[in-house]
Amino acid sequence: MVEIIVPILTPFNEKGEIDGEKVKTHVENLLKKGVDIIFVNGTTGVGPALSKDEKRKMLDYVLDVTNKVIFQVGSLNMKEVLELVNYANDRDIIAVASYPPYYFSIPKDFIVKYFKEICSVSKHPVYLYNYPGATGKDIDVNLAKEIGCIKGVKDTNPDFAHTIRYKELGIKTYNGLENLAIASLSILDGTVVGAGNYMPELFSQLREYIKAGDMRKALDLQLKIDEIDGTTIPYGKISSMYYLVKELQGYDVGVPRPPMYPLEENKVKELVEKVRKIWNK
Ligand SMILES: O=C(O)C(=O)C[C@H](O)[C@H](O)CO
């Protein structure tokens, strides 16, 4: 079956520490609502802003509930990357994943070396997290072929034709954009959606409509998802999710951690009212 993957948000308390119980409650609910795999330390989980220790903690909190986990290990510190890969080697997960070294301008053969080094240490399959918009690097199908050991890819990319081409490698292929969920669930191995943190049931329902061949209903639901997802942008997508989980899923997932700042009360009220209006349509 095509998979719904949620890059889980990271629940912080007021002191900026990860709240493990809130992680577990959130994972339990997501699985109940039809989510298949939890992507740990992704963009929505503010992976690049987590310490090595926090990345490990997030993995263990999620593993307390499920082993349907893809563990993102990317970092600009190679020693840390390999320590995280080794940490995962002793645990039962689906795969490790990594975005490429970002910020710095580096030649392609450095990117090949980076992933080959991860593959040489990992006992689990290694997935590519390709997010050109955030990392400034595009590891397309040709470069993935050159790396040679990539067993799956999450391509957060508005260019769906770019994503489809990874299927030439016969690997698990997902697109990471909410507004392409209908295409990802119809053609790829599944979808990776940050908005699945606060509206997992809409993505499960979308998959059901597609499975039933009811594409009119699927399209209408995709447009509703787009409208809700788009509403969060001016407030900060990631920060918004903490309040929308509470509003739409009914439990507390803590607060965002700066520089993903918490929202002012009036902004939360405004956001929730706007989303509720679309949700109740
Ligand atoms: O948060 C992540 O790691 C994702 O892959 C999700 C996408 O990048 C995010 O939903 C894009 O809006």
Token couple for 192: 């990776």
Please state the domain extents for the chain. 3-214
44 assigned binding-site residue: yes
pLDDT at 133: 97
pLDDT at 276: 98
Do residues 160 and 175 lie in contact, with contact meaning Cβ atoms separated by under 8 Å?
Answer: yes
- Residue to probe by mutation, ligand 1, list 58, 129, 156, 228, most atoms within 8 Å of CB: 156
pTM of the model: 0.98
Tens of pLDDT along 230-279? 999 999 999 999 999 999 999 999 999 999 999 999 999 999 999 999 99
What is the fold, at CATH topology level, of the domain defined by 3-214?
TIM Barrel (3.20.20)
Tens of pLDDT along 76-132? 999 999 999 999 999 999 999 999 999 999 999 999 999 999 999 999 999 999 999
Atom of ligand 1 nearest to the CA of 45: 1
Tens of pLDDT along 28-60? 999 999 999 999 999 999 999 999 999 999 999
Atom of ligand 1 nearest to the CA of 131: 8
Long-range pairs of 183-188 with CB within 8 A, sequence gap ≥ 24: 184/2, 185/2, 185/4, 185/210, 186/210, 188/2, 188/163, 188/164
What is the interface pTM, i.e. ipTM, of the complex? 0.93
Q: Whose CA is nearest to atom 6 of ligand 1?
A: 194
25 assigned binding-site residue: no
Distance 226 CA to ligand 1 centre (A): 14
Residue 64 three-state SS = coil
